[in-house]
Amino acid sequence: MSSDGSSNGSSNGSPTLTLDGKVVPFETGETLYEVARRHTSDVPTLCYDERLEAFGACRLCVVEIEGFRSPVASCTTHAAHGMNVQTKTEKLEKHRKTLMELVCSENPRGVEIDPMRGHASQEMTDLAQRYAVDGTRFEGAQSGQSHPDDPNPMILRDYDHCISCYRCVRVCAEQEGDYAISIANRGFQTQITTEFNGFLKGSECTFCGQCVQTCPTGALADNRALQHTREPGEVELTRSICPFCGVGCSVDIMSKGDKLVGVRPAMDGPANEGALCVKGQFGWEWVQHPERLKNPMVRKDGVLVEASWDEALDRAAEGFRRVRDTHGRHAIYGVASGRAPHESAFSVQKFIRAGFGTNQIDNCSRA
Amino acid sequence: MAHINPSGDQELIERWRDQPASLLPLLHAFHDRDGYLSDDALRAVASGLRIPIADLYGTVTFYHHFARVKGGKARPRVCDGPVCKLQGCDELIVGLDGATAMPCAGRCDGPIPVLQDDEVLIGTQPGALTAAPPLVPPPNPGGIDECVFAEVRDPRRKTLAGYRESGGYRALSRAVREMTPEQVLDVVSGSGLTGRGGASFPTALKWRAVREAGGGPKTVVCNADEGEPGCFQDRVLMDLDPHAILEGMTLAAFATGATRGFIYLRYEYPATQGVLETAIEEARAAELLGTSVLGTELTFDIHVRRGAGAYICGEETSLLNSLEGKHPFPRNRPPYPVTNGFEGTPTAVNNVETLASVPPIVDRGAEWYAGLGAGEHKGTKIISLSGDVARPGNYEVPIGIPLKTVLYDWAGGAPEGRTVQAVTMAGLSGGFLGAEDIEEATLDEPSMRARGSLLGAGGVMVFDDSRDMVEIARQAMSFFAHESCGKCFPCRIGTQRLTERLAGVAGPKEPELWKAEVEDIGRTMAAVSACGLGVAAPGITGSLMRLFPEQVDAHVNGQRK
Ligand SMILES: Cc1cc2nc3c(=O)[nH]c(=O)nc-3n(C[C@H](O)[C@H](O)[C@H](O)COP(=O)(O)O)c2cc1C
Ligand code: SF4
Ligand code: SF4
Ligand code: SF4
């Protein structure tokens, strides 16, 4: 119990430890993994997602601490003042290679994964390359049963690639709060499941896609983006804000040429930290839908026809005026769109209050 | 008011909802009522206890013994532990209608146990199964002073009256009336008692940590999960001497300041649950448990919680998650249970044998107990001896006594015409010892650790010279693979890969490559697994390769007998 939170400060206040021979400061409560990552050492991991509680499944992040009998998982070990920590000894690298050989052996196809599958989908592939592991050593039975039959157009459940890191289950519980998926069975028979091993659409799943974006193997994949895999061109990412609502989730828009091929949550988005909802994540196809409205339309003799903005706005103003003149100012009720940011919502209420003299103003997100 | 079915869903939920550690007993209530856990039952439990249904479904599938198909609970489960394999359990499984295998069920010293509904039958022939009697240990063959077994052969010991006649509850009444908790801690500390559940942690040190920890209510948990193959001593103590465990727990409560207690009992001991519950009722009626123990200020009560078939739930943090109704993965440590145990409160988790040792220690004194050990070692340990040995059974031995004394002089050695080829230690967790070690080893941790092994929970399985050690190792590894919780990579994948290699269904066909693979997997498992299961499992392959290289080569070359 020697390291249990005993991170007393050094004489000048901030506690320090020795990391690969260098004395570095840390803040009380930080884990060794956090300290190591801040100081550029590239400790590998597959089960870690900084937004989630450290779990300690993959054991790749093990480090040696002087005085400890065995290596410890740096993600679940708190830094303590005076610790002498090694992150990259020959022994550790050998354990890491063996771990990678083991995990690739249950998943040999996992070394080539379409990056369209999701944000984190290359983590396993990258580490396999770093440790020069191809999945042939330690050959044996494969774990995980795919659900290619899950009838939803958004999330591909390709558990042949699953390595049981449980990031999906944890993000669903800890970030999304939906508890839609869980862990069935145990040991090598472990399987990601929904209630009674059913389809996602019959579960509590809201199709937010967070499990897809945290999956380090692409076992969970963005099926919408995958439809565009064969199209020519490189995927380009453009940082933007999701237009659906006022929360302002940061997204990385995926495009090939001038074609939108997918949306990814920005892990560093200040409002969303990697989260999106089903609309922001999967509801982008309208952007290039052939029936998308591109000009204002007005009804003439019962038929909608294209019009200029001036004509359309005049027509709208005329409508408002008519209603006010015939039914009085309280016949007007303004509902700001939930997609409107603050400033626009403010303008709407101003328009209704100052323009018509009524307080009947609301927002569609109120429900 | 509408008529309520006495065992309707709502009744069951209301019976348990506000009880501590309610999920397991509520699931058992449905399992017992319906003979399986239906989807509807799970939905009712999930909404009754406000657990997400996907979580509950996943957690239920973790446990081996929760049946998910109609009629499943009544189907016979036949022990296929290493010793029952020697007795022909495979044929029994084939011969019994609807039977399936279950991991070691803790009766290795007799005929094969078969769990059928809530009854344990024993036998080796399908048509000739009989009820399983409690097994009484034979008189100590060494004629040596005992601690926990001293009185258990007396059949009256099971009742409160009989227990009191032979000195029971004397220690507790002295402690609560004449001693301070500090004094109890000093006695336990002086006795040298360490955990008998496997890790040998000093009991007084653990209790002091709980006593000094902030927050509460504090908890004492008796670990009666006894899942290690080849270990069956806790069952005997609970069946024959239940009050000793209750008294030990109450002394632990007095010493630590705990107010609530749980006994986490493995599923495979259904009759034991009744024995413990009867004893608890007797103790409550006699004010030995409750809000004013023996008229003093001590408040302590005990609840029995039945597990559902998972060796890993014997690991203390996995056990705590199981009690709390969570997915029973082990927790990351620190923090340890002594500060963050059951529902985050300071908790002492102790093994059955550890707790049963406490009343005689407090009664007869630290020096007496310490003096029971051999040489500089302190105290006693029960050794569960089984397999190819003339007189299998439980033996309470002085710690530090030579292994060969117990194996040959006490238990009669290998059967007529055979010699001992190997023994396992700590059930399976200590791997194998070969002839040389058996000759020299003494039954204590330093001697065992010097041989790369463990005394642990004290299970010793004996294999004579007719046995195929690679096959024995395969069975052992497939147990670990079956019981791996699946939380961490090295153990989840490693136990599977090692089992496949021992079975010869995958892996290199060239001995040097085979050994290199098995060594690499084992080294990484032992060094970086998240809990003791994955750390211990490769002890099997390591000792196999060290002791029986020719058998390993023959296996890899496809020349096994
Ligand atoms: C895989 C595994 C299984 C265990 N099973 C048991 C068990 O069945 N009974 C037990 O008392 N301890 C078991 N332990 C040890 C417990 O974690 C814990 O150390 C013990 O209950 C503490 O009690 P003690 O100090 O009195 O021995 C197990 C440990 C591991 C790693
Ligand atoms: S899409 Fe969202 S709600 Fe559905 S399983 Fe994944 S994380 Fe959970
Ligand atoms: S589906 Fe992906 S995130 Fe989920 S456990 Fe498997 S590999 Fe990990
Ligand atoms: S070592 Fe095995 S049993 Fe222990 S946490 Fe890891 S997978 Fe689970």
Task: State the DSSP string of A229-244.
Answer: TTSSS--EEEEEE-SS
How far is the C-alpha of A330 from the C-alpha of B248, rounded, in Å?
78
| CA-based nearest residue in chain B for residue A99 | B490
Per-residue pLDDT, A40: 76
> Which ligand gives the minimal distance to the CA of A48?
3
pLDDT tens, position by position, B348-365: 999 999 999 999 999 999
Per-residue pLDDT, B7: 86
Partner-chain contact B524 A179, CB within 8 Å: no
Hey, is B184 helix, strand or coil?
A: helix
Tokens 């023959």 locate to B554
Domains and CATH numbers, chain A: 16-88 (3.10.20.740), 107-227 (3.30.70.20), 231-292 (2.20.25.90), 297-366 (no CATH)
User: Which residues of chain A fall below pLDDT 70?
Assistant: 1-12, 109-111, 366-367
Per-residue pLDDT, B2: 45
How far is the C-alpha of B146 from the C-alpha of B152, rounded, in Å?
10
Hey, is B130 helix, strand or coil?
A: strand
Listed range (A343-352, B278-287, B402-411, B488-497) with the worst mean pLDDT? A343-352
Cβ(B506)–Cβ(B467) below 8 Å = no
Closest CA to B256 of B321, B350, B169, B379: B350
Residue type, B559: Q
Hey, is B224 helix, strand or coil?
A: strand
With a Cβ cut-off of 6 Å, ligand 2 is lined by: A 171-172, 176, 178, 180-181, 205-211
Separate counts of helices (H) and strands (E) for chain B: 25, 14
How far is the C-alpha of A154 from the C-alpha of A353, rounded, in Å?
42
Cβ(B257)–Cβ(B219) below 8 Å = no
Tell me A31's DSSP state: B
Select the residue from A2, A48, A58, A59 to test the B interface by mutation, using most B Cβ atoms within 10 A.
A59
Assign domain B155-367 to its CATH architecture: 3-Layer(aba) Sandwich (3.40)
pLDDT tens, position by position, B286-320: 999 999 999 999 999 999 999 999 999 999 999 99
Q: What is the CATH topology of the domain spanning B469-556?
A: de novo design (two linked rop proteins) (1.20.1440)
Q: Which residues of B are less than 8 Å from A99 in CB distance?
A: 489-490, 524, 528
| Closest ligand 4 atom, residue B486 Cα | 7
Per-residue pLDDT, A107: 83
**Across the beta sheet with A62-65, what order do the strands follow?**
A22-25, A16-19, A84-86, A62-65, A72-73
> Which ligand gives the minimal distance to the CA of B237?
1
Residue nearest to atom 25 of ligand 1 (CA): B195
At A318, give phi and psi (nearest 5°).
-60, -40
Please, what is the average pLDDT of chain B? 97
* Token pair belonging to A278: 């089903």
Tokens 């529902």 locate to B343
Assign domain B6-72 to its CATH architecture: Orthogonal Bundle (1.10)
Listed range (A62-71, B130-139, B206-215, B409-418) with the worst mean pLDDT? B130-139
Shortest Cα distance from B443 to chain A (angstroms)? 24
Strands (E) in B307-354, as ranges, are 347-351
Hey, is B79 helix, strand or coil?
A: strand
Partner-chain contact B493 A105, CB within 8 Å: yes
The answer to whether residue B387 scores a pLDDT higher than 70 is yes
Per-residue pLDDT, B561: 61
Tell me B342's DSSP state: G
Q: Residue B6: which pLDDT band, with cuts at 50, 70 and 90?
A: low
Partner-chain contact B62 A5, CB within 8 Å: no
Select the residue from A91, A188, A196, A200 to test the B interface by mutation, using most B Cβ atoms within 10 A.
A188
How far is the C-alpha of B387 from the C-alpha of B462, rounded, in Å?
5
Per-residue pLDDT, B43: 98
Q: Residue B321: which pLDDT band, with cuts at 50, 70 and 90?
A: very high
Pairing of strands A16-19, A22-25: antiparallel
Residue nearest to atom 6 of ligand 4 (CA): B488
Q: Do domains B6-72 and B155-367 have the same CATH topology?
A: no
* A69 at interface of B, judged by CB pairs closer than 8 A: no
Average pLDDT on B85-103 reads: 97
* Bond prior to B335 in cis (omega within 30° of 0): yes
Per-residue pLDDT, A341: 79
At CA B445, angle to CA B443 and CA B449, rounded to 5? 110
3-state helix, strand, coil in chain B (%, to 5): 45, 15, 40
Per-residue pLDDT, A11: 52
* Token pair belonging to A176: 């999304």
Give the residue extent of every domain in chain B: 6-72, 75-131, 155-367, 380-464, 469-556
Assign domain B380-464 to its CATH architecture: Roll (3.10)
Average pLDDT on B483-495 reads: 98
Residue nearest to atom 19 of ligand 1 (CA): B199
